[in-house]
Amino acid sequence: MSVRATAPGELTPASSALAAVEGGEVQIAGSAWRQASYVFLENRLAVAGLAYVVLMVLFCFVGPFIYRTNQINTDIANLTAVPSPAHLLGTDIVGKDVLGELMVGGQTSLEIGLTAALLATTFGVLWGAIAGFAGGWLDQVMMRIVDSLLAIPTLFLLLVLAAMFTPSLPMLIIIVALVAWLVPARLIRGETLSLRTREYVDAVRVMGGSNVRIVLRHIIPNTIGTIMVNATFQVADAILLIATLSYLGLGVPPPSTNWGDMLSDGVSYTYAGYWWLIFPAGIAIVTTVVAFNLIGDAMRDAFEVRLQKR
Say which residues have a Cβ less than 8 Å from residue 186's Cβ, sequence separation at least 6. Answer: 5, 8, 128, 143, 146, 150
Q: How many residues bind another protein (CB under 8 A)?
A: 44
β partners of residue 91: 97
Q: Which amino acid is at 199?
A: E
Residues numbered 2-21 forming contacts with another protein, rule: CB under 8 A: 2-3, 5
Contact range with another protein by CB under 8 A, out of 86-94, 106-114, 167-175, 266-274: 266-274
Report the chain's terminal Cα–Cα distance, integer Å. 33
Task: Tell me the closest approach of the beta carbon of residue 17 to another protein, in angstroms.
Answer: 22
Say which residues have a Cβ less than 8 Å from residue 2's Cβ, sequence separation at least 6. Answer: 154, 183, 237
Judged by CB under 8 A, the residue of 43, 91, 108, 264 near another protein is 264
C-beta separation of 142 from 127 below 8 A: yes
Beta strands (DSSP E) in 101-249 are none
| Site for another protein contains 249 (CB under 8 A) | yes
| Site for another protein contains 23 (CB under 8 A) | no
Contact letters (x/-) for another protein, 218-237, by CB under 8 A?
------------------x-
Contact range with another protein by CB under 8 A, out of 70-78, 202-210, 286-294, 298-306: 286-294
Q: Which amino acid is at 109?
A: S
When the beta carbons of 21 and 248 are compared against another protein, the nearer one is: 248
Distance CA(150)–CA(271), nearest Å, equals 39
| Site for another protein contains 171 (CB under 8 A) | no
DSSP state of 70: -
Distance CA(306)–CA(176), nearest Å, equals 33
Contact range with another protein by CB under 8 A, out of 98-106, 112-120, 148-156, 185-193: 148-156
Backbone angle region of 254, left / alpha / beta, with phi > 0 → left and psi within -120 to 50 → alpha: beta
| Site for another protein contains 156 (CB under 8 A) | yes
Judged by CB under 8 A, the residue of 188, 238, 289, 305 near another protein is 289
What are the residues binding another protein (CB under 8 A)? 1-3, 5, 144-145, 147-157, 159-160, 162-165, 236, 240, 243-244, 247-250, 260, 263-264, 267, 270-271, 282, 285-286, 289-290, 293-294
